[in-house]
Amino acid sequence: MNKTTLLFFITLLLFSWSCNLIDKGRNDLRREQITVTGLDTFKTITYYLPDGKKETVLAYKNSVLHGVSEVYYPEGEIKQKKTFVNDKDFGSFVQYYRNGNVSRYSFLIDSLRNSYERTYDDQGNLIQIAGDPLAAFRVLRSDTSDTILVKAYFSDFDAKDFEVFISETGEKESFKPFSLVTDSGSISTKEGQIKLVKKINFPYHYYIQMKIRNGKDSIENYKDEISFYVSR
């Protein structure tokens, strides 16, 4: 593990620690906003420094971290934004320089893994890309249903335009536009769905092409694949 990767994980662990920190002596420096939707209760807690500047904003759903939480520099500038899903790391993690420019964007699979990463200098210039915008996918199935649902998660961070195409064969003429919707509970995340007839132990395979016109108006092209099977 190189020094850059080690520093990233240390930063990530410190963020997770700060999001779970409960300081009962600072209740007078926080503000809560509660919204009830159906059976779910959403709560946002904002902690403030003695001078009134924001320190941390934590988002909860039914008493566990869920949604986008934030950490600020002492001077008031945003330092980090991170997405939680049901108290677990999943989704975008954005780190900022003090001048407000993004230093690093990552899509987290869990607390120790990321599938897509973009690194920038303090002037906003892209330095490095690791992985691709097809950040994750999940297979949802029911033992009593003859269908399965595949959810694919894409990151459109730093994208002015973002197009995705899908194919079952990978042949050039077979790619079709893949419809995406924005995930309002995350950062720069879009979701696509594939509905399939369930076939036990059948090797499902899809080819994905992605095209980004980034913030500097440069074109980025990516290819990836999704493979899975259902055991029952």
Dihedral angle over CA of 12, 225, 172, 153, nearest 10: -50
Query: Strand pairing of 113-120 and 159-167?
Result: unpaired
Query: Over the chain, what is the mean pLDDT?
Result: 88
Task: Kindly report the CATH number that applies to the domain delimited by 134-228.
Answer: 2.60.40.10
Q: Residue 207: what pLDDT?
A: 98
How many Å apart are CA 207 and CA 172, to the nearest integer? 10
Q: Residue 184: what pLDDT?
A: 84
Q: Give CB contacts under 8 A, 24+ apart, made by 87-91.
A: 89/12, 89/16, 90/136, 91/153, 91/183, 91/186, 91/187, 91/189
**Residues 124 and 102: beta-carbon distance below 8 Å:** yes
Q: Taking the domains of the chain in order of start, what are their residue ranges? A: 3-130, 134-228
Residue-wise pLDDT tens digits, 120-129? 999 999 999 9
Residue 101 — pLDDT band, cuts 50, 70, 90? very high
How many Å apart are CA 161 and CA 220, to the nearest integer? 10
How many Å apart are CA 5 and CA 166, to the nearest integer? 32
Nearest 5°: CA angle at 224, between 223 and 230?
155
Provide, rounded to the nearest whole percent, the portion of the chain with pLDDT above 90: 73
Q: Residue 28: what pLDDT?
A: 58
pLDDT exceeds cutoff 60 at 196 = yes
Q: Tokens at residue 37, please?
A: 């939707």
Q: Residue 22: what pLDDT?
A: 39
Q: Residue 232: what pLDDT?
A: 72
Task: Kindly report the CATH number that applies to the domain delimited by 3-130.
Answer: 2.20.110
Residue 21 — pLDDT band, cuts 50, 70, 90? very low
pLDDT exceeds cutoff 80 at 27 = no
Q: If you average pLDDT over residues 28-57, what whole number do you get?
A: 92
Residue-wise pLDDT tens digits, 66-93? 999 999 999 999 999 999 999 999 999 9
